[in-house]
Structure 1
């Protein structure tokens, strides 16, 4: 019985310490998202402004788990003399990721993000019609965090995602900046 009580106190203490060091956070960012579209013989806009909202759980000073929603803007192609009709591709994703944090200097830290996302490409084309294509794809990113105060952090990030559009895979590289608030 004594061993059971000691074990219970020990594990309760561990859970309390883990909960005290863990921190929930939310945030948002805006940025520029660039598609890897090959625009041969047509005019196209391969980058657009997009946004992201995210929430996470800082498990300890090194590891965090994060859920994010991202709207990567629209890839737009216009018709050419060959008869191509305008096409718009809107990218959206919902991803879950693990973040590995490393301190650099005082309030500055770097992070690497590894995760998986549900990517959705909404394709609008005058000749082919409108259709959506979704797939699970890896999400990779790196970034910097600068702690402004106890709760507020400035965040910069570079992230790579792929969108499978049935006829081809398109990569998207995003550069964003935003704020993160820890509770």
Structure 2
């Protein structure tokens, strides 16, 4: 009735999800709490438990109920998008069985609960949907009661020991302030007679992050408005002036558009998201009738993180915007250049955003620095 193979599979799957996690995101850490409830299913070796109490006597005609309601209360800290630490209280309900012993009916009632500490790995599959894997330790308390034949003089037994636990699950971000989780976890608990029992807990629950940075608001700078020069005043003399020499038209001022990195890409990513594609489609339509000579795409980041990482991220985002303008906007690739400026050209002024530690307030203050600038040189 034990399932060692399932335990190994859950352990390997949990470790695999941690190893497959992508690069750490720049979002600062935050605390969270939650509650989950569902079904607990025990795998009790009834004959072995009875033999441990009855001094080795065999139990026959066994009937059991190994399914009950289980729940857990938990809280944790999300260090980044891929790793968190979680502690909680769990209740695995109770299991019962009865059978015929040499002296009559023998009954058992076992209840399992305790505390746990887990390392939780998150593998994002999209902006909102993720896989979860966890490994940890459970300090369980098992209370076993025995009645009937052969149990006379046997007091209730309490067993408090630490055992390993693992789990797998999925998570969906309903909002930035509420997630929903579905999980299956395997607990290894003591059965009260010097043995161990596997308990599988299947739950659905809600998670409530708090202290998390708000969703950044896209920042878009307005393109400069071209103002034609004032006409020259009429001459004071009566005689018509000589025909003026034709003058070349003034060179138009470059048009520059700034787009928020959060409106174009997912957090710490360089793939253009649907909202970003809509903004770039509008930009392509706006310059469809423009006789442009060159378009320069510049990627910029804030000062959080290393300079090398920020330089690479800015180059990847600039290249992604150029590729989209060429493939979807059908613009001339030979006239478009893409460069990354990293953190070297911030929009915020020195002293606007103080601090060096990554906090929610500092991330929000530096939001204008995370952008993509597109400069168009040409005439309409």
Structure 1 distance, partners of 2:72, 2:158, is 20
Q: Is the 8 A contact 1:36 1:170 kept in 2?
A: yes
Residue in 1 that maps onto 2:195: 168
Q: Deviations over 1:21-58 (max 9, x none)?
A: 11110000111111111356311101111110000100
Higher strand share: 1
Residue in 2 that maps onto 1:155: 181
**Residue number among 125, 141, 144 corresponding to 1:104 in the alignment:** 125
Q: Is the 8 A contact 2:45 2:197 kept in 1?
A: no
The worse-fitting range, judged by mean Cα deviation, of 66-75 and 121-130 is 121-130
1:30 aligns with 2:37: yes
- TM-score normalized by the length of structure 2: 0.42
The worse-fitting range, judged by mean Cα deviation, of 147-156 and 75-84 is 75-84
**Residue number among 44, 49, 69 corresponding to 2:69 in the alignment:** 49
Q: Which SS does the other structure have where 2:100 is aligned?
A: coil
Superposed counterparts of 1:70-149, under 5 Å: 70-80=90-100, 82=102, 83-126=104-147, 127=151, 128-149=154-175
Q: Is the 8 A contact 1:44 1:76 kept in 2?
A: yes
Mind listing any 5+ residue stretches in structure 1 that lack a counterpart?
1-16
The worse-fitting range, judged by mean Cα deviation, of 34-43 and 102-111 is 34-43
Shift of residue 76, structure 1, vs aligned partner: 0.8
The worse-fitting range, judged by mean Cα deviation, of 62-71 and 98-107 is 98-107
Q: Which SS does the other structure have where 1:148 is aligned?
A: strand
Higher helix share: 2
Runs of 4+ in 1 over 4 A off after TM superposition: none
Shift of residue 79, structure 1, vs aligned partner: 3.8
Q: Is the 8 A contact 1:43 1:80 kept in 2?
A: no
**Residue number among 74, 80, 84 corresponding to 1:64 in the alignment:** 84
Residue in 2 that maps onto 1:4: none
RMSD over equivalenced CA pairs, Å: 1.8
Q: Deviations over 1:100-142 (max 9, x none)?
A: 1001123110111011110111111122221100111011011
Structure 2 distance, partners of 1:80, 1:147, is 51
Q: Is the 8 A contact 1:87 1:123 kept in 2?
A: yes
**Residue number among 162, 180, 183 corresponding to 2:207 in the alignment:** 180
Q: Is the 8 A contact 2:88 2:117 kept in 1?
A: yes
Structure 2 distance, partners of 1:172, 1:46, is 9
Residue in 2 that maps onto 1:14: none
Shift of residue 81, structure 1, vs aligned partner: 6.4
- TM-score normalized by the length of structure 1: 0.85
Q: Is the 8 A contact 2:185 2:200 kept in 1?
A: yes
Structure 1 distance, partners of 2:100, 2:208, is 47
Shift of residue 168, structure 1, vs aligned partner: 1.6
Structure 2 distance, partners of 1:130, 1:79, is 18
Q: Which SS does the other structure have where 1:179 is aligned?
A: strand
